[in-house]
Chains A and B, each alone.
Chain A
Amino acid sequence: GAVVSQHPSWVICKSGTSVKIECRSLDFQATTMFWYRQFPKQSLMLMATSNEGSKATYEQGVEKDKFLINHASLTLSTLTVTSAHPEDSSFYICSARAGVHEQYFGPGTRLTVT
Chain B
Amino acid sequence: AQSVTQLDSHVSVSEGTPVLLRCNYSSSYSPSLFWYVQHPNKGLQLLLKYTSAATLVKGINGFEAEFKKSETSFHLTKPSAHMSDAAEYFCVVSGDFNKFYFGSGTKLNVKP
**Which A residues are within 8 Å of any B CB, using their own CB?**
32, 34, 36, 42-46, 49, 93, 95, 97, 100-103, 105-108
Contacts and interface: CB of A to CB of B under 8 A. Distances in A.
B98 A107 contact: no
Given A43-B90, A43-B104, A44-B90, A105 B99 contact: no
A36 B103 CA distance: 13
Main secondary structure of the interface of A (DSSP, over half): strand
Contact of A95 (B42, B51, B100): B100
A101 B104 contact: no
Contacts of B105: 42-43
Contacts of B94: 101
26 contacts: A32-B98, A34-B99, A42-B104, A42-B105, A43-B103, A44-B102, A45-B102, A46-B99, A46-B100, A46-B101, A46-B102, A49-B97, A49-B99, A95-B100, A100-B98, A101-B49, A101-B98, A102-B98, A103-B98, A103-B100, A105-B36, A105-B43, A105-B44, A106-B43, A107-B42, A107-B43
